[in-house]
């Protein structure tokens, strides 16, 4: 269960469990946490619980709502976030809401009640359908610890040209005879994609499997000759 720890000047004033779908705080006595502070608006902000998310929303307060020192309008709370309203601090505690979230087995839950949320004024009119990228923020592509690699042309049309291998995949060659260099956590690899001739590394043709590249390896893809190097 997610909770808020209310404090001022370092002394804890209370713990509040977010048991309700809509949890409000402000100066008004009807708020779930009443905060008597002139810097706090009557209905200052609200926390909506949707599935595993707690979403903090400022309700147009005069002095604003800060999370970890930054002003927010809407924010998905993460474990350990510190919300500031007026002179008060609210620490958000929810072991489940870690940034490197668990990939718990997919659960089936019913779609939530749009009408109810609309009545509560919690949601805007439906936006157009949009694709969302769900790739976890912590699933950083290729957590590389080795230096950036690059290739320079040393023969063929691309002589003298240099290409940084900063993306996860870099394509080489022509549509009918090509290879890719992939950037992986353990290093760079070259893989044959298509064409009768497999790429040649230091004079030897590679097989079908990704082939690890070493600094200053010489690569041939079709008529192009390249040198791989680490920057």
Footprint of another protein (CB under 8 A): 48, 50-53, 55, 74, 76, 78, 96-97, 99, 101, 103-112, 114, 117, 122-127, 129-143, 167-171, 175-176, 178, 180, 182, 184-185, 191, 193-194
Give me the least distance between CB of 165 and another protein, in Å please. Answer: 12
Give me the least distance between CB of 197 and another protein, in Å please. Answer: 14
Residue 80's nearest CA partner among 68, 70, 69, 72 is 68
Which CB, 42 or 118, lies closer to another protein? 118
Which CB, 38 or 100, lies closer to another protein? 100
Give me the least distance between CB of 84 and another protein, in Å please. Answer: 19
Residue 33's nearest CA partner among 107, 99, 85, 96 is 85
Q: Given its phi and psi angles, is residue 138 left (phi above 0), alpha (psi -120 to 50 degrees) or beta?
A: alpha
Which CB, 12 or 142, lies closer to another protein? 142
Give me the least distance between CB of 99 and another protein, in Å please. Answer: 7
Which CB, 78 or 218, lies closer to another protein? 78
Q: How far is CA 50 from CA 20, 113, 171, 187, in A?
A: 10, 11, 42, 41
Which CB, 29 or 51, lies closer to another protein? 51
User: Sign of torsion, CA 140 97 113 105?
Assistant: positive
Give me the least distance between CB of 70 and another protein, in Å please. Answer: 14
Q: How far is CA 108 from CA 90, 105, 130, in A?
A: 32, 10, 22
């Amino acid at each position: 269960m997610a909770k808020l720890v209310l404090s001022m000047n370092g002394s804890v004033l209370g713990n509040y469990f977010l048991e309700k779908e809509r949890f409000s705080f402000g100066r008004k006595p009807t708020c779930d946490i009443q905060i008597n502070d002139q810097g706090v608006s009557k209905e200052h902000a609200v926390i909506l619980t949707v599935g595993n998310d707690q979403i903090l929303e400022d309700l147009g307060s005069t002095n604003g709502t800060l999370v970890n020192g930054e002003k927010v309008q809407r924010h998905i709370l993460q474990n350990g976030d510190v919300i500031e309203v007026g002179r008060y601090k609210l620490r958000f505690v929810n072991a489940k809401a870690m940034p490197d979230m668990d990939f718990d087995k997919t659960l089936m839950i019913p779609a939530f009640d749009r009408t109810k949320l609309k009545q509560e004024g919690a949601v805007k009119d439906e936006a157009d359908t949009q694709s969302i990228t769900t790739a976890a923020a912590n699933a950083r592509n290729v957590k590389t610890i080795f230096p950036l690699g690059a290739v320079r042309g040393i023969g063929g049309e691309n002589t003298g040209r240099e290409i940084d291998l900063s993306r996860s995949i870099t394509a080489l060659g022509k549509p009918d005879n090509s290879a890719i260099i992939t950037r992986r956590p353990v290093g760079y690899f070259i893989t044959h994609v298509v064409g009768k001739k497999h790429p040649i590394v230091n004079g030897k043709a590679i097989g079908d499997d990704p082939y690890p590249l070493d600094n200053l390896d010489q690569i041939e893809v079709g008529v192009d000759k390249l040198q791989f190097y680490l920057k």
